[in-house]
Structure 1
Amino acid sequence: MSNPPNKIPPTTKAKALRKLAFTHGIEVENFITNKRGDILEDGKELVAVWDQMFNGALNYLKSLTSSSTNVPEYIRRKIKRVTRKDVERHGKIIRYVQIQYLFNGKSIDINVFGPDPNISQITWLLELVTPPCEYLEELDWWINTLYLAASKSIASGYQIQPLGFNPYQTEYRAGVTCGEHHHLGGFKSVNEKKAAYNMIRAYIPHLIALSNTSPFIDGKPDGRTILKKGDDGRTLILAPDCVRSHRLKENSGQLGPNIPEYLPYVGPSFTRQQFSRYVRKEIPDDRYVDAFPFTSYDTIECRFFDAQYDQNIRKSIIILLQALALKAIKLTRAGKVLPDVKGNTLYEHRKRAVNFGMFAKFQGDPSIESSGGEFVKHYNHNPETGGPPGKIYESLRSLLIWLKPEFRDLRVNENDLTSILIMLWGTARIAPPISSATYMFYLFENNHGNIASVINSLALINGKPRKSFTEVLGRPQYSMADLISTNVAKPVHTTDTTRSSLARKLQLESRQRRKKIMVKEKARLQVKQSIKTKMIRDKVKKERKIEKKRQDRLRQLEKAKKPPPKPVRATSDTRSSSSIYRTRIPVSQSRVAPRKTVPIKTTKRTSPSKPTQKPTTKKVSIKAKPTNRKPTKKAVAKRAPPVKHTVSKQTSQKKVLTTTAISNRSNSIQTTGKKPVQAAYASTASRSAYSRRQISIPKPTIAKRTTTKSVTRKQITPKKATASTKAVSAQTILQYESYRDTKFIKSLTISNMSSRIDYGTIVPVIKMKWRKSIIQSMVTYPIIVEAQVSSLDKRSSFKTKAFQETIKLEKSSLRDTCYLPIPIDINSSTGEFQVKFIVRDGKKRNILGTEYRTFSRTKISSDKKHQITRLSIPPNQVGDSKVNITINASKKNSRGKITLWGISQRGILKFYEKKAKFGQRRISLDLPILIPPSMCSSQWMLYLVFNARGASISAYTKTSPPLSKIINFSLSGNPPLRSRIYSDFHAELTPKLIFKTRCEISEIDVFQVENGKGMKYLKKYRLKSRINKGEKFVLESFEWKAPSMRKGLFGSHKQKSIEFYCRIFDNLGEINDSLIGIVETPGISVFKK
């Protein structure tokens, strides 16, 4: 239980002190949270709470030097002074409580209370640091005192949360996890320290499974949790698909290393430089691994522990580390060598421990079986059966039995190991295994999934949880006496006929699992791609259908300009065209002058088989409504009979086509290809045979009565449309041909342009694919993009407008494909519009390509009109940013959709999309977005579309690129690269990148350029990594040799200049060179040896 809030922990008598085998210090990171359990992010609230807590803790710790406080005398004598120390980090003044502490006869300065040195951009973590302690009671006292100082000083309504991962976080964020770092020192020789490191390294998976405290994410486990009654009546806590430590699973930058070789086995001659190369990290970043034996304090640092919520569990971990190191020293002094457990075996077991905890499968390492000894006996075998361990908690049982002599040397009693005995053998109510994470699952189930109750149960009061681990679960089923009296079974040796190590078996299992996962993923992607393809096809079909309807409507409007031909009705349905020409009248008898084009007055004609009647005086209008409807048979039957015209029998003659007329017409068609004229036809009908009104044969009628097939299908030039016909421009039905300068452009298409809109601002994007043979040598290329918008409706008041953008293309946009946005604003105009896109060379003004598109804009009523009053983003942004928008909707409580796009030379990206019901007319939002570096390397656009109540509104804004480099790239060599080398030089190069923003990287290419001309690829890395701001990224090393000095068949170069570059790709495309800085990588001159 906790001590009273206003008292220092009581004095421990010197004779009861238990000296540790090695000095031990701990760094513990903690969250500062509100009462609910949410971490306080960087802001005024965090600063205010931090200031009050720091000032209170400073005063509390200063009181330790006073003789009136109840501080153990041996500790008081070591405390020389308690002061405040200000340190500048990242442009901020950070305050620490510093203690001058006596250690090995020297006074050392220790920042015992303050923020974590690796300050996060999101929040501050409270780091409590103990001095290096010589006694177990001394270390326990310091941890309790520091937690008491923090808990007592923090403001009401806030608390300290010692968990590896905040349960309310929805995703992993760099620098927002809490761990414990244990330092073991005081070794008498370097070889003893290395032996202790090798022993701890072999049991890292066991210690991880024991100490996980970060199983919750987004307020719950990421899988099922089950409480089940076992065969012995005890409750078994199961979580078959839950991750036990999200901190260890995600944080690969400061832990691990996340490579199959894992940590190296350190021999007597193993150096730090070899260690850094093995873990693929540069000095001093090579210390960011699970265990590091080369610290500047001459200690072994263990960084893989999650922060512990119970001091009793922390004490058990301290004892285990001390006992393991002591066991290694004993073996070394006895002349024995600890076997080398393979790194890939440890790596596989570590992954299992992170995912499954103590239930993880453990198989030991068969490759060390032949070496024998006590270590192999307890590492590869179950102590009770002698067979393989099976589970990791069974191997931990074997470890405790093996460490019995060390527990006696450290004078450890049963109370010190109560927590670990409960974990491995359970209690009367709870069946084993029970790790720190399993206990949190137990609380989660008992509180019916209420995460707030779980956090409240683990909250610290005066430095300790409300109820400790042992108080909730009870006394252990297995006592210390049982542990000491346990007899170890003789190992059952199994022969490995395949002579394959566990690493190969694990790799085979891992490969099979990955293969299954890849098959499932491939099937899922195929289904996803088929759905996407189907949607695209449906969309294209729909657009084609709409375009076809629109073209048909335009053709109908065009046809309305010319009246349809007037059919000549026959009195008999069986009359053939040949019966018209039975009687031929000589041309000389005709009194009719050469026929001229006269508008027809009637659609009636004479019957050739009956005598003609006097023509009727009824006038028929020539104006006919354009229609595509065909009359039905009933309608034809009800029509009035045709009017018959009579002539005298003496002069009764027929209208015929003469041979001369037909021959003249044929010659005109063959020679000029023009349409026939009416003058080519002759009529021999007598003028006296007709009424005074002269009747000319209609043009369509003559064409139909012509027996020549080519003449029948020809159309006469249409007359001008009447005033009642809708005026439509003749160009609406013209098919414009696009143009491409094939020397530069392979293809040119238009995207982001709908054929039907109801808003006035659009941003079409011209997608161009370059001819690589011409473009690849260019660094930049100025382009002028034009858009000429004209109305297709002649009655519209819209005047032709031209929009122009001058774009300076980046080098990365010239390699393959570029995207050219061109904003178009037609204000409030409506109707049909045509856009002509023109792409010009910015220097020579030559046209590189043209393309045509049409679209229509519908009119919306005033009660549905929306307005975008603000669309802004801070300048020079990259990575995480916010876009401020303000929209005035047409009505309150409108259900609408907000879509935000980013458009640049590298492509189009949807940043944000939200469908919601907006209560107020004025909608003001700050939209969080992640800007890829490849998008913002030059000027780019934000395009916003708001849709509600069947109406839309759009707006765009331009924003500027970052002003400084956002990625630093360097190459370090072993041996180091020099500015002058010879042709036989070779080295191992390690690429290293530092990212100044958060981004997602997909590929990194490293290449060299010789004499400023050729480009040679050295290494290609395919990644799928989410990089956090400020993260350092070290890639796999590769061998590099100086280039050959040969020139042609017989010549050679005296000197070559070498420069290294890199190309980095994110999810959108290639990041331009202007944002990548090459640092610490010299230009190299190669000389012939």
Structure 2
Amino acid sequence: MSNNTAQPKSPTSRALRKLPYTHGMEVENFITDRRGDILEDGKELVAVWDQMFNGALKFLQSLTSSSSNVPSYIRQKIRRVTRKDVERHGKIIRYVQIHYQVNGKTIAINVFGPDPNISQITWLLELVTPPCEYIEELDWWINTLYIAASSSITKGYNIQPLGFNPYQSEYRAGVTCGEHHHIGGFKTNKEKKAIYNMIRAYIPHLIALSSTSPIVGGKPLGRTILKQGADGRTMILAPDCVRSYRLKENSGQLGPNIPEYLPYVGASFTREQFSRYVRKEIPDDRYVDAFPFTSYGTIEFRFFDAQFDQRIRLAIIILIQALALKASKLTKSGQIIPQVKGNTIYEHRKRAVNFGMFAKFQGDPSIESQGGEFVKHYNHNPETGGPPGKIFDSLRALMIWLKPELKELNVTESDIAPLLIMLWGTARIAPPISTATFMLYLNEKNHNNTSNVIKSLSLLNGRPRKTFCEMLGRPDTNFAELLQTKVAQPKRTASNTKSSLARSLQQDSRSRRKVAMAKERARLKAKQTLKTKMLRERAKQDRELEKKRQDRLRKLEQSKKPMPKTAAQRSKTITPSTFSPKRKPISSRPTTTRKPTTTGKSTSTRKSTSTRSTSKPRSKPPAKKTSVSRKTSKTKTSSRKPSKKATSSSRSRSVAATKRKTPAKKKPAPKKKVISKAAMLSKTSSKSSKRPTAQSYASVASSRNTTRKHVSLPKPTIPKRTSTISKTTRKTTSTKTAVSRTKTVTTIQTEEPYRDAKFVRNLSILNMPSRTTSGTIVPVIRLKWRRSIIQSMTSMPISIEAEVASMNRNSRFEKKLFQDKATLERASLKDSCYLAVPINLQKAKGEFQIKFIVRNLKNRKILATDFRSFSRKDTGRQRLPIIKKISIPPNRVGDTSVKVNAEADRRNTRGRIVLWALSQRGVIRLYDKKAKFNSASFTVDIPILIPPSICSSKWYIYAEYTYKGMTVGSYTQTSPPLAKVANVSLSGNPPLKQRVRTDYRTEITPKFKFKTRCEIREVEIYQVDNSSIRLVKRYRLRMRIKKGEQFVLESFDWRTPSLRKGLFRSYKQKTVTFQCNIYDDVGLIDDSLISLSETPRITVYK
């Protein structure tokens, strides 16, 4: 690419016109073949794209040279042009990046490359202008970027700037083109929000004049009528045609809250509130029509279709800047932009998408009482003073209202000629004429030849055309006449009340709506009939396939079934159970001749022959025993005779087992561990006492354990598990070390924590200080459950015990036991639960140890134990701060208040109050604030928000008051709410029935109503039947719910579960119910607070 490529020249005949706000654009374009079809993803598209990108990169890099024909004020802003590679969706995407200087700052902009939201079908060319300060600068950048693309593309391929490709027969996500406008450079945040509110109110008007997607599948979606009016001008009528097919099908542009549309942004409105209103998570909340919280500090408008005419594009830019300037003036004069209702804007937007400028416009009756210039031009026709009637009438009123701003922008008639033609027509064409109407007019003139229409709208010499004004001529009303137009006074009805005006406007629209609703009902009925027919056919096919499968399985089962055995074969069959009565131990048989030896010898003999064959019957010990050795063991084992009743087969099996197990007897280690010399001497010396030999083995084990602890013991008479060591003496080097070592010397037990491995995985203690000045503490035990049968329970009664003992030898503090009982919820048995146990030490001080015990009250079995130590120091003050009382209304959830009555030692003190919620679901901080208190005794009324997930059972509020390094605490127990918090209903289409067949299908819509304010994070809907629990649908919401708010979630398809039971069996019927899990910011809300209504228990049968 040479540097001599033609570049757009900036006009030098007049001065630059500065925009009140910086303006940037993102323009999306199709890459098409010679016919006008888009290029699908493949080698052809990649080859065309590579050549176009490389040529555009060289062209844009040449702009920095002094020989290029670039205006000086633009060349000074271009710092450098580079290539940038970005990885998206596993692909390396190349961009041309320009470093541009704006308002003294250099920013990097990807001016040339594919759309970041890459489609899997094709690539869209996105041209991005830098933020421009002048109208001429923005015009130059748009033309330059188009020239860079069109001069580099392969011959035979084109760039198409339309909202929807005319040859596409259906809407596909990501394969539409739009224009995104960014305005910035605001002085205050108040000014920015006022501009957003102003343009938000006129979104339907801007959509009506900028739509460029009325042709789908090579033809319009309805009739186009060219009719001559009374004044002799041609009227272009298209009553059935959709003007913007791109916006009609792109429902994701609005989000799930279609009736509320976009919020009115007040002075304290934040982005988090915006994302909750549009029900989208950050950063996806920017995919709406207008977004005021971009990371660049701009307002982004995304509802414009891509424009084929450069003059129309500039006219839209001027209109946006004039609206922003008007909003700024109103704000500076102390006026407020009225709050137009979101559902009113949405209704007018829907009409503008379908009917363009011919759409019915009724204003907003709710703002009529506010008066002012905005209401005068928004709710009334400028020529008659009555209701506006159509959107193009309201656009005329807007143009008349913006006359001062257009003068301030130094706008000429040439700049806004497209707007004048659209609203007042020409000598030949009657108004209104939008861009979509003009495309339908071209299609009718070319006799439905879409190829000729595309050629008329394509780029000319690499730049966007100026076809609109060239083909239609001069506007019938010039700019000077517009400036002299006078506005009629608004006409009011006999009753000036808001409801009267609303009724008069609504009655006019109802009559028009009846016809449309009748057509819509007929269409939906036909659609439902077709859907029902398809479902029946599919169910019939499923039944036939199931029948064939059952027949195949029946034949397979018959072929694999063994032949029945004869009586002789059944009598010869020998099973292992026939030998079980004959292999009885010898000890169970009656014996008369043998006599056992002494107890000590017999026990040692049995221990020495520990590796005996399991197939041989156990016999009584032999009468004579000389020594315990390996040789004797072998001799005894081989000389033993089997029982007379043993068969020859059992003898051979026992001999083989003995031979296989003989090598195991060569291990000497077990015998040395079992019998020692001391044990043999103790047996000899204590023959008369006849002490059981088991004591000898226990003493050996105890001495071995004691040796590991470095403690000397006299005789091995202590049991194996010891909790105290009374005869251990230690040297105390200092007072501090003596205190720390009295844990093993005094009555404090040195037990280790215990976990029932079947149920408990881990235990930890929370809210437990190591040092405190408070006499009241509330430790929290956190239990993490194992995946066992405990998680299938619906509830579990438990007891929590805290045994407090002093660690000081000379303390008068007596051991105290604090106990609490609770019934665990189903949600607390899933993963982990939190158990609070209040402890009140009163005036006791020193070092203490707490033993925590958690028991199952059903069987009094201990689930876990743990130990913690802490110290309560003496502050030396005679008068300590105290919390006298904590009070909270009973049975509360959501918004409530807590009264804390506290007392300090003097007035005018600064302190800190912290409120904690201690429940089975966790430890939550409800309030934390530092404040100054004027009196020594004070009462604080603290507003809090109680999450529903923590209050389904009894819970504690723990208050801490910190003053001059001293912390005192107090607690109160609260009761769960009596009423349900949420009401959930699942409605089906077709409705859910109590008895359905296996081929039944429906579309379920969840509806929710909350009786309290809360924050919802996730909703799960489960299907419960005879054999399983299955997750049907999960919604991730992140939304804040107001008290009494109702909302509907997205519908989902549901079909009855299969009755199959294994491979060859099936259930006769199944009972199906639904269960709804709702999660707030803390966790799962218990089922006792959720009401599932209007959902029957469904029985599925064949």
TM range (shorter): 0.5 to 0.7
Secondary structure of the structure 2 residue equivalent to 1:490: coil
- 2:255, 2:280 within 8 Å by CA — same for their partners in 1? no
- 2:947, 2:1082 within 8 Å by CA — same for their partners in 1? no
**1:258 deviation in Å?**
5.5
Secondary structure of the structure 2 residue equivalent to 1:461: coil
**1:1083 deviation in Å?**
5.5
Residue 122 of structure 1 corresponds to 121
Where in structure 2 are the equivalents of 1:476-495 lying within 5 Å? Answer: 476-495=475-494
- 2:221, 2:242 within 8 Å by CA — same for their partners in 1? yes
Which residue of 762, 778, 786 maps to 2:553?
Answer: 786
Residue 199 of structure 1 corresponds to 198
Where in structure 2 are the equivalents of 1:918-933 lying within 5 Å? Answer: none
TM-score, length-scaled by structure 1: 0.52
**1:785 deviation in Å?**
6.8
> Distance in 1 between the 2:57 and 2:447 partners?
41
Secondary structure of the structure 2 residue equivalent to 1:20: strand
Residue 67 of structure 1 corresponds to 66
Letter in 2 for 1:786: L
Letter in 1 for 2:518: K
Residue 522 of structure 2 corresponds to 520
1:471-494, Cα deviation, whole Å (9 max, x unpaired): 111111110011011111111112
TM-score, length-scaled by structure 2: 0.52
**1:411 deviation in Å?**
0.5
Letter in 2 for 1:516: A
1:537-585, Cα deviation, whole Å (9 max, x unpaired): xx9xxxxxxxxxxxxxxxxxxxxxxxxxxxxxxxxxxxxxxxxxxxxxx
Where in structure 2 are the equivalents of 1:658-669 lying within 5 Å? Answer: none
Question: Cα 1:1085–1:529, aligned 2, differ >3 Å: closer, same or farther?
Answer: closer
**1:1017 deviation in Å?**
8.3
**1:427 deviation in Å?**
1.0
> Distance in 1 between the 2:527 and 2:414 partners?
56
**1:72 deviation in Å?**
0.3
1:691-731, Cα deviation, whole Å (9 max, x unpaired): xxxxxxxxxxxxxxxxxxxxxxxxxxxxxxxxxxxxxxxxx
**1:980 deviation in Å?**
3.0
- Structure 2 alignment gaps of length 5 or more: 562-893, 896-916, 927-944, 951-979, 991-1004, 1015-1028, 1035-1049, 1059-1071, 1090-1102
Where in structure 2 are the equivalents of 1:1009-1088 lying within 5 Å? Answer: 1018=984, 1020=986, 1039=1010, 1062=1033, 1069=1055, 1084=1084
> Distance in 1 between the 2:198 and 2:407 partners?
19
Residue 393 of structure 1 corresponds to 392
**1:520 deviation in Å?**
2.8
> Distance in 2 between the 1:351 and 1:66 partners?
49
Residue 302 of structure 1 corresponds to 301
Question: Cα 1:476–1:321, aligned 2, differ >3 Å: closer, same or farther?
Answer: same
> Distance in 2 between the 1:209 and 1:76 partners?
37
Where in structure 2 are the equivalents of 1:863-902 lying within 5 Å? Answer: none
- 1:26, 1:130 within 8 Å by CA — same for their partners in 2? yes
Secondary structure of the structure 2 residue equivalent to 1:108: strand
Residue 321 of structure 1 corresponds to 320
Secondary structure of the structure 2 residue equivalent to 1:393: helix
**1:1069 deviation in Å?**
3.4
Question: Cα 1:1023–1:764, aligned 2, differ >3 Å: closer, same or farther?
Answer: closer
**1:464 deviation in Å?**
2.9
- 1:752, 1:765 within 8 Å by CA — same for their partners in 2? no
> Distance in 2 between the 1:320 and 1:256 partners?
27
Where in structure 2 are the equivalents of 1:995-1010 lying within 5 Å? Answer: none
> Distance in 2 between the 1:425 and 1:126 partners?
35
> Distance in 2 between the 1:61 and 1:512 partners?
57
Letter in 2 for 1:980: G
Residue 168 of structure 1 corresponds to 167
> Distance in 2 between the 1:1079 and 1:1085 partners?
6
1:421-457, Cα deviation, whole Å (9 max, x unpaired): 1111111111111101001001100110011111111
Question: Cα 1:263–1:1070, aligned 2, differ >3 Å: closer, same or farther?
Answer: farther
Letter in 1 for 2:1055: G
Question: Cα 1:447–1:801, aligned 2, differ >3 Å: closer, same or farther?
Answer: farther
**1:264 deviation in Å?**
1.3
Residue 380 of structure 1 corresponds to 379
> Distance in 2 between the 1:189 and 1:523 partners?
53
Secondary structure of the structure 2 residue equivalent to 1:786: helix
The alignment of Structure 1 onto Structure 2 pairs a total of residues equal to 626
1:718-765, Cα deviation, whole Å (9 max, x unpaired): xxxxxxxxxxxxxxxxxxxxxxxxxxxxxxx996688xxxxxxx8845
Residue 351 of structure 1 corresponds to 350
Letter in 2 for 1:395: S
Secondary structure of the structure 2 residue equivalent to 1:153: coil
- 2:947, 2:1080 within 8 Å by CA — same for their partners in 1? no
Question: Cα 1:316–1:528, aligned 2, differ >3 Å: closer, same or farther?
Answer: closer
Residue 220 of structure 1 corresponds to 219
Residue 410 of structure 2 corresponds to 411
**1:1084 deviation in Å?**
4.1
Residue 272 of structure 1 corresponds to 271
Residue 78 of structure 1 corresponds to 77
**1:407 deviation in Å?**
0.5
> Distance in 1 between the 2:212 and 2:502 partners?
32
> Distance in 2 between the 1:67 and 1:383 partners?
52
Residue 233 of structure 1 corresponds to 232
> Distance in 2 between the 1:1038 and 1:350 partners?
29
- 2:1078, 2:1084 within 8 Å by CA — same for their partners in 1? no
> Distance in 1 between the 2:199 and 2:23 partners?
15
1:290-340, Cα deviation, whole Å (9 max, x unpaired): 111111111111111000011100000000000000001101101111111
Question: Cα 1:528–1:145, aligned 2, differ >3 Å: closer, same or farther?
Answer: closer
Letter in 2 for 1:298: G
**1:525 deviation in Å?**
6.9
- 2:19, 2:321 within 8 Å by CA — same for their partners in 1? yes
Please say if 1:980 is aligned against 2:922.
yes
Letter in 2 for 1:287: R
**1:1042 deviation in Å?**
11
**1:8 deviation in Å?**
1.1
Question: Cα 1:233–1:112, aligned 2, differ >3 Å: closer, same or farther?
Answer: same
Question: Cα 1:332–1:988, aligned 2, differ >3 Å: closer, same or farther?
Answer: farther
Please say if 1:433 is aligned against 2:200.
no
Question: Cα 1:30–1:518, aligned 2, differ >3 Å: closer, same or farther?
Answer: closer
Question: Cα 1:266–1:522, aligned 2, differ >3 Å: closer, same or farther?
Answer: closer
Letter in 1 for 2:23: H
Residue 132 of structure 2 corresponds to 133
Residue 448 of structure 2 corresponds to 449
> Distance in 2 between the 1:166 and 1:147 partners?
18
- Structure 1 alignment gaps of length 5 or more: 540-748, 755-761, 768-783, 791-799, 804-973, 990-1013, 1025-1033, 1044-1057
1:385-410, Cα deviation, whole Å (9 max, x unpaired): 11111111111011101100000111
**1:232 deviation in Å?**
1.3
1:933-961, Cα deviation, whole Å (9 max, x unpaired): xxxxxxxxxxxxxxxxxxxxxxxxxxxxx
Letter in 2 for 1:459: S
Question: Cα 1:521–1:125, aligned 2, differ >3 Å: closer, same or farther?
Answer: closer
> Distance in 2 between the 1:1023 and 1:284 partners?
34
> Distance in 1 between the 2:320 and 2:949 partners?
36
- 1:255, 1:303 within 8 Å by CA — same for their partners in 2? no
Question: Cα 1:750–1:459, aligned 2, differ >3 Å: closer, same or farther?
Answer: closer
Residue 605 of structure 2 corresponds to none
Question: Cα 1:103–1:246, aligned 2, differ >3 Å: closer, same or farther?
Answer: same
Higher helix share: 2
Letter in 2 for 1:788: K
> Distance in 1 between the 2:1006 and 2:284 partners?
13
Question: Cα 1:387–1:153, aligned 2, differ >3 Å: closer, same or farther?
Answer: same
Question: Cα 1:532–1:290, aligned 2, differ >3 Å: closer, same or farther?
Answer: closer
> Distance in 2 between the 1:149 and 1:39 partners?
20
**1:104 deviation in Å?**
1.2
Secondary structure of the structure 2 residue equivalent to 1:84: strand
Residue 289 of structure 2 corresponds to 290
Percent sequence identity over matched residues?
63
Question: Cα 1:1042–1:410, aligned 2, differ >3 Å: closer, same or farther?
Answer: closer
Letter in 1 for 2:555: Q
- 2:418, 2:468 within 8 Å by CA — same for their partners in 1? yes
